[in-house]
Amino acid sequence: MAKKHWFYGKNILLTGVSSGIGFYMAKMFASKYSCNVFGVGRNIEKLENAKKVIDEEIEKFSKTKKGKLSKRGSFEYLSKDISSFESWQDIKKILGERDFSVDILINNAGIMLPFDRFENQTPEDVKKVFETNFFAHIYSYKVFLEDLKRVKGAIINISSSSALCPVAGEAVYGASKSADKSFTEAISIEHKKQLYIAYVCPGFTSTDLFRNEEGMSKLVKSVCMPAEKMAKKIIRRLARKKRRIVLGIDAHFMSGLNRLAPRTASSTISGVLKVSKDPMFDKVYPENKQKRKVK
């Protein structure tokens, strides 16, 4: 039988399951940990592909020695944009109709603008990022809190290493993730005795999040963790009910440096990105592009 962690066999509402970290978490929870995962994303084609792979994995696991002794997990999905309060009310209604009571809420869906100076970004960009990365977490909390309290459930918010140390070129993304970290820390104290509430700060992970970037820097590639490995590590930390989860060499470096040298950490990290001279950061450091052209 699969190891019976506290989340074994639970009902999980997980956003951002159509790709990246969310997809791999959904796959592992639904197969290895026999959870009933209800996933949310927007792109129906991607969601349908995810379901196919996850259903196959559930089937495969059920035939293993451990799987034969375990309860069978499941995966269902819903296509919904999670960035409005109305969407969350709809999600709750649909789950009610399907008799799905949420034990664990994982807010994973997130977006990032291409690396650029803030002067080039619009108020609409800011709104879009905050609505997905921060307000969606507030809405889901408001909509599901009473249900989660009833079952002494859990809320897991996926923040980012950007919340541990601000970086030039990611002002808006970092601000949205810092807001989420701060919010999650506060509510985790407010509900200490009723709920397990945690935030996760992954470092660079190879996912579609960088789909808008010209080319991924060598530096980033060298620290980038595969999405499946990141998902595995997150689940391992959740099993131990950690409330603050920092993962990846870059995330640990950013966290450590910001604690040791809070006044200079941001400019040091931003300086490392600059000297990497990689195209991904060209809009933040246009002089790098110029120098490459001259050569």
Residues in the chain: 295
Which one of 7, 11, 14, 22 is in contact with ligand NAP (CB under 6 A)?
22
Q: Is 16 in the site for ligand NAP (CB under 6 A)?
A: yes
For residues 282 and 177, what is the distance between their CA atoms, to the nearest angstrom?
23
Least distance in angstroms from the C-beta of 247 to ligand NAP: 9
Q: How far is the CB of 30 from ligand NAP (least distance, A)?
A: 15
Spatial distance between the Cα atoms of 110 and 42, rounded to a whole number of angstroms = 12
Which residue in 5, 46, 191, 232 binds ligand NAP (CB under 6 A)? 46
| Residue pair 12/35 in contact by the 8 Å Cβ criterion | yes
- Output 89 or 194, the one with its CB closest to ligand NAP: 89
Q: Is 157 in the site for ligand NAP (CB under 6 A)?
A: no
Considering only CA atoms, which of 259, 290, 252, 257 is closest in space to residue 271? 257
Cβ atoms of 34 and 72 closer than 8 Å? yes
Q: Considering the complex, state which of residue 148 and residue 201 has its C-beta at the smaller distance from ligand NAP.
A: 201
Residue 205 lies near ligand NAP (rule: CB under 6 A): yes
CB 100, CB 36: distance < 8 Å: yes
Q: How far is the CB of 272 from ligand NAP (least distance, A)?
A: 16
For ligand NAP, the binding residues in 82-111 under the rule CB under 6 A are 82-83, 108-111
Listed in sequence order, the residues at least 6 apart from 79 whose beta carbon sits closer than 8 Å to its beta carbon are 40, 41, 42, 43, 44, 47
Q: Shortest distance, CB of residue 96 to ligand NAP, whole angstroms?
A: 20
Q: How many helical (H) and strand (E) elements, i.e. helices and strands, does the chain have?
A: 12, 9
Binding site for ligand NAP (CB under 6 A): 15-22, 40-43, 46, 81-83, 108-111, 132, 158, 160-161, 202, 204-205, 207-209, 227
